[in-house]
Amino acid sequence: MAGRSALEAYSNGAVWWDTSISNIKKNEIIIRGYPIEELIGNFSYSQMLYFLLCGDILNEKKAHLFESVLVAGADHGPRAPSIAAARMAATCGISFNSCVATGINVLGDIHGGAAEKAMKLFYATNELAGNDSNISLAAKEQFDRLQRDKEKLPGFGHQLHDDDPRVHRLYQLAQSLVEEGEISGQYLRIAEEYRAILEEKKKKKMTMNVDGVSAAIQCELAIPAEAAKGVFALSRGMGIVAHAFEELKNGILIKGPCPNREDLVHYSGPSIRHLEKAGETV
């Protein structure tokens, strides 16, 4: 981004909106050069998403792998803040699309941002390594940097799962494409290198979480790391829609974040006090 204001750019001869994605005219919709009617019925959802985002057409095998990432992240129940927020919103009488937006808007660096962080790390590690023989050294260097900066290694560990079934399935699908030569496997190797380093550090068995393997797969597909939260929002959005709709149909009103019990909410402020005015208690 050049950092200029829109008015400054416009006054210097730039158009107001400049896009290489779509060209819309009366009775004509062109998406990255292709008429929309040629894409409808020929592109899957994952192919269309990748095409819009990256400008390239994924073959069916890669598109299926990308779609598997979207399916894997679709739902994690009301324990997930994004799902819980959407369900609470649905009990408050706002429009359904606002309920969905409430859940989506909870997603960020903390909840929903691990894949982006892992992708940035994996891309940086690959660039630092230069070739396969240097992966171990580059990963160790990056891991040590994270340790010095007191940052958590993204893509590993989970509050609930220590053997996440999503990870096994995604890894299986990705490895099949590595064996077929559809993807390089470079970023899966990088992720595995970090797992090995973490095992050595923790002195116990460690596994990637779903964000880690999803990040490695998206790197294999050359998806920009900065787009990862948007991709995850589309993935988790499916679950958010379903949960918000279910709660809406339940007909329950104003469900808060926890039941109305005193033992679940602790007040830690000052004891009761009163304003004073001219030496008198108000």
Q: Does residue 215 contact residue 124 with C-beta atoms inside 8 Å? A: no
pLDDT of residue 282: 57
Q: How far is CA 39 from the centre of its chain?
A: 26
CA distance 277 to 131: 75
- The CATH code belonging to domain 45-255 is 1.10.230.10
Specify the 3-state DSSP secondary structure of 232: helix
pLDDT of residue 136: 94
Specify the 3-state DSSP secondary structure of 250: helix
- Percent of the chain that is helix, strand, coil (3-state, to 5): 55, 5, 40
pLDDT of residue 163: 81
User: DSSP string of 94-151?
Assistant: --HHHHHHHHHHH-SSSSS-HHHHHHHHHHHHHHHH-SGGGHHHHHHHHHHHHHHTT-
Collect the ranges in the chain with pLDDT lower than 50: none
pLDDT of residue 5: 85
Radius of gyration (C-alpha) of the chain in whole angstroms = 24
pLDDT of residue 279: 61
Residue listed under structure tokens 């709660």: 247
CA distance 23 to 130: 39
The tens digit of pLDDT for each residue in 191-223 reads 999 999 999 999 988 888 999 999 999 999 999
| Distance between start and end Cα atoms, the chain | 57
CATH 1.10.230.10 residue window(s) in the chain: 45-255
pLDDT of residue 228: 98
